[in-house]
Structures are given as C-alpha cells and as structure tokens.
C-alpha cells in the first residue's frame, strides 16, 4: 500500500514548537510574510535572521523533543507492506529525531544555511547574521536560512507529485491548508484515486476536501491511526 503523509506545524505543537497561525503566533507583531519572504529579507535581514535564530535556538536547546505522533510515523515507515512517503512542511528535525529516514522537507531545514553567492548548503546550528561567513566560499553577508519563503519554489515537488500519483492513501496532519502547493496535495491525491484523511485539532481551510476528518491532538490521534492501519494491513496479508 502506498501512503503519502503530509505534516504541518500542528504535529510539532505538542513538542513545544509554536504553530504559525495559532493564537500563540511565532512572531508577535510581525506578519508571517514579513519574515518569510525574499522581499522581507532584503528589507530587513537582521530581523529575519533574528526570527530564525530564535527558532533554531529553541530547536537545539533541549526542551523540544519529538512526540508520540513523530514516533508513530517512524514506526509506520518501518512497517512491512507499507511504502510511506513522508512529506513535511516543517523545518524542524523532529521526524528525523524520532527515527524517520528520507523525510521530504518541502519548505527546507532550519539546521542548514544556504549561500546566496556560491549556492552551497551547509549544516548550521549557530546564529546567522550579516557577518556570518560561508564555510564553502568564504563570502561574508551571503548566508540565509535554507528555507522556502513565499514566492520561492518548494523542494522535491517532482518526487512528491510522483508519489501522490501512486498513492492509495493520503493523510494530512496538523496543517491549516492555507499555503500552496501543499494545500493542493489532497486534490492531486484524490484525482489519482487515493482515499484522503485529515488529522487536525480543529477544522482547517481544506477539511471539506477530505473523505474523512478526525479532530484532536496529533499526539493522540496519529498513534491510534497508525495502529489501525497496521492492524488492517496485517488482516489483509
Ligand atoms: C494541531 C495541533 C495539534 C495545532 N494536533 N493539529 C495558489 C496556488 C499555488 C501557489 C499560491 C496560490 N496562491 C498563493 C500562492 C503562493 C503562496 C501561498 O500559498 N500563499 C498563501 C498564503 C495563499 N505559496 C508560495 O509562495 C509557495 N511557493 C510557490 O507557490 O511556488 C510556485 C509554485 C506554483 C505552483 C506549484 C508549485 C510551486 C512557497 C510557500 C512557502 C511557505 N513558507 C513557510 C515558511 C517556511 C520557513 C519557516 O518555517 O519559517 O512555510 S510559511 C509557513 O506556512 C511555513 C509552513 O510550512 C506553512 C504552512 O503552515 P502550517 O504547517 O499549515 O501551519 P499553521 O500554523 O498554518 O497551521 C497549524 C495547524 O495545526 C492548524 O490547522 C491547527 O489547527 C493545527 N494544530 N495544534 C493537531 N496538537
């Protein structure tokens, strides 16, 4: 069975990573577009670096850990009879820390930096600033977080689109369904004949598009859904 799972900020909320559009918005007083767009970075690079430095520090500080939803998806990826494509919009590394391999980071990775001069992508666990030096080319004031901002092309779309066209089941977990192209994946999967399931704390912009929606915290509902799916595939095999 081919399963494609798309995760969003909601799956990491119970790990202590604030969501984007919740009442505990990540950056009080700033619109997401101001800190997550190339024009915002060009206008005020220091502000944008500060925004990502704070989130990187939270991620590496020890208080943020994978939760049962991340672990359940790692378990699913190892199950016989299931081919899982795990796509995340999140730039954290919580899926990897829970044991998932080959995670498709549609919107990039917080623990990497990219050089605007030479294009190199390098590991990054420290603060970035305009004074940072690219470890690949030695340039100054040319590093940016390796993330996808509004107006930029998300990563890995060809492979994700191929996986969606083969999917028997598509599941979206903890995403508001407001940001494209990810918000359109449910329609692509349905067009390919997949069954579609949404797991979210509350109704999302895309809820009406799914065959089924389950409401509740990912940390509870995802392990339950994985148990159900594995029990079902065992019965069939
Ligand atoms: C829980 C929970 C719990 C809470 N348990 N659930 C139409 C078509 C195509 C494109 C566009 C279009 N219209 C406009 C566009 C352009 C634009 C776009 O979508 N804009 C919208 C605002 C309208 N898109 C782009 O620019 C993208 N690029 C692009 O389109 O390129 C051209 C292209 C065209 C056609 C095909 C292919 C390409 C790029 C988008 C980049 C988004 N970047 C960001 C920042 C990344 C770096 C960073 O993290 O800082 O990505 S913005 C931000 O939003 C981040 C997230 O990944 C993304 C989605 O947010 P997410 O994950 O859904 O979080 P929230 O907070 O919104 O929702 C959390 C959910 O969890 C809620 O529903 C809660 O209820 C739930 N929840 N706790 C379960 N415990």
At residue 144 the predicted structure's pLDDT band, cuts being 50, 70 and 90, is: very high
The pLDDT tens digits of the residues spanning 31-66 come to 888 899 999 999 999 999 999 999 999 999 999 999
Give, using CA atoms, the residue closest to atom 9 of ligand 1.
180
**What is the mean predicted confidence (pLDDT) over 192-214?**
97
pLDDT classification of 22: cutoffs 50, 70, 90 = low
Backbone torsions φ then ψ of 116, nearest 5 degrees: -70, -15
15 forms beta bridges with none
Q: Whose CA is nearest to atom 64 of ligand 1?
A: 9
Q: If you measure from the C-alpha of residue 24 to the centroid of ligand 1, how many angstroms do you get, rounded to a whole number?
A: 17
Active site residues: 107
- Tell me which residue has tokens 């970075």: 41
Number of helices followed by number of strands (H, E) in the chain: 9, 9
CB contact set of 183 (below 8 Å; sequence gap of 6+): 175, 177, 205, 206
Asked if the model's pLDDT at residue 25 lies above 70, the reply is: no
Model's pTM, two decimal places? 0.96
Q: What is the mean pLDDT of residues 152-171?
A: 98
CA distances from 26 to 51, 94, 123 (A): 9, 18, 23
Taking the C-alpha atoms of residue 119 and residue 113, their distance in angstroms, rounded to an integer, is 10
- Structure confidence at residue 235 (pLDDT): 61
């Amino acid at each position: 069975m081919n399963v494609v799972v798309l995760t969003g900020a909601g799956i990491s909320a119970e790990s202590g990573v604030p969501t984007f559009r919740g009442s505990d918005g990540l950056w009080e007083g700033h619109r997401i577009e101001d800190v997550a767009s190339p024009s915002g970075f060009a206008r005020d690079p220091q502000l944008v670096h500060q925004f990502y430095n704070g989130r990187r520090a939270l991620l590496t500080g020890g208080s943020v850990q994978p939760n049962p939803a991340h672990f359940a998806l790692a378990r699913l990826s190892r199950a016989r009879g299931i081919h899982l494509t795990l796509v995340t919009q999140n730039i954290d590394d919580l899926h990897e820390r829970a044991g998932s391999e080959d995670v498709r980071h549609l919107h990039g990775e917080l623990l990497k930096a990219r050089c605007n001069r030479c294009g190199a992508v390098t590991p990054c666990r420290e603060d970035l600033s305009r004074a940072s030096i690219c470890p690949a080319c030695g340039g100054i004031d040319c590093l940016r977080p390796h993330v996808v901002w509004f107006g930029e092309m998300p990563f890995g779309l060809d492979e994700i689109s191929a996986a969606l066209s083969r999917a028997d089941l598509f599941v979206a977990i903890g995403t508001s369904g407001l940001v494209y192209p990810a918000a359109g994946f449910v329609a692509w999967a349905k067009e390919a004949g997949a069954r579609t399931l949404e797991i979210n704390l509350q109704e999302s912009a895309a809820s009406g598009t799914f065959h089924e929606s389950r409401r509740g915290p990912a940390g509870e509902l995802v392990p339950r859904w994985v148990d159900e799916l594995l029990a079902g595939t065992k019965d069939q095999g």
